[in-house]
Amino acid sequence: MDLIHRRRAIYTGMRAYFDDHELYQAISLWQKDYSEKPKYALSVFVARCCSTPELKEQRAKILGSIFNAMDMPIEQLLADPIDAMKAESSLPPAAQHVQDGKTQVFIHLFEQMLLKVNDHDERNIRQFVIDQSAKLEMDERRSMHLKQWLAKRRPILAANYSLPIMQKIIHYSYVAMCEQIGPVKSDQSLAQAIKETEPLAVTLQFKLHDLL
């Protein structure tokens, strides 16, 4: 198996677990430190890539996915990512993604809601929204970016979303919040989050209640 074939297999096996930026960094790490090492060294490679608690829990699945990809016919593998990696590295960070106004307001409202609960409840709310997001109609790229952001694996939501999708995410968050802290406290927390987000919505000329 030549270098390009192995790179495509690594890329295919890891695709479902990492966003573009993380994945390109992982491929670069593999090429630099592991491409000439035996297959069993992949376990160390995967461990280095899994830097968050959520990813660490998925380490065995990620490694298994890579091994499965290495056994796949080459025509079933994803295309070689090398050109996309070069293109991304040539972009300044600010040019890689620009959030539109409604997405900025959505992010602020969502984050203000979660600031009203403790860390344990926040994790449960985020996981509930991740699970429910499978019901949302969006392309694979947007789905991946959303899950990465919800899991706190990336600090920036690197995509824009339609209003109906953002409405549903806020709804899922509220439902999960009610389960964690009860409807009375949830109503109070949502009202406070709306109040704290309203100045940004006014500045961006977006009707905040369109998200509700």
Q: Is the pLDDT of residue 84 over 80?
A: no
> What percentage of the chain carries pLDDT values higher than 90?
56
pLDDT at 21 (0 to 100): 76
**Angle at the Cα of 159 from the Cα atoms of 155 and 161, rounded to 5 degrees:** 120
Q: Cα torsion at 114, 118, 119, 121 (round to 10°)?
A: -80
Q: Specify the DSSP class assigned to residue 154.
A: -
Any idea which of 39-48, 88-97, 166-175 has the lowest mean pLDDT?
88-97
Q: How far apart are CA 53 and CA 117, in angstroms?
A: 20
Q: Judging by beta carbons within 10 Å of its beta carbon (0-12, 13-18, 19+), is residue 92 exposed, middle or buried?
A: exposed
Confidence label for 97 from pLDDT (cuts 50, 70 and 90): low
Q: Is the pLDDT of residue 169 over 80?
A: yes
Domain map (residue ranges) of the chain: 3-94, 101-211
Write the single-letter amino acid at 183.
Answer: P
What pLDDT shows up at residue 117? 94
Q: If phi over 0 gives left and psi between -120 and 50 gives alpha, with beta otherwise, what is residue 205?
A: left
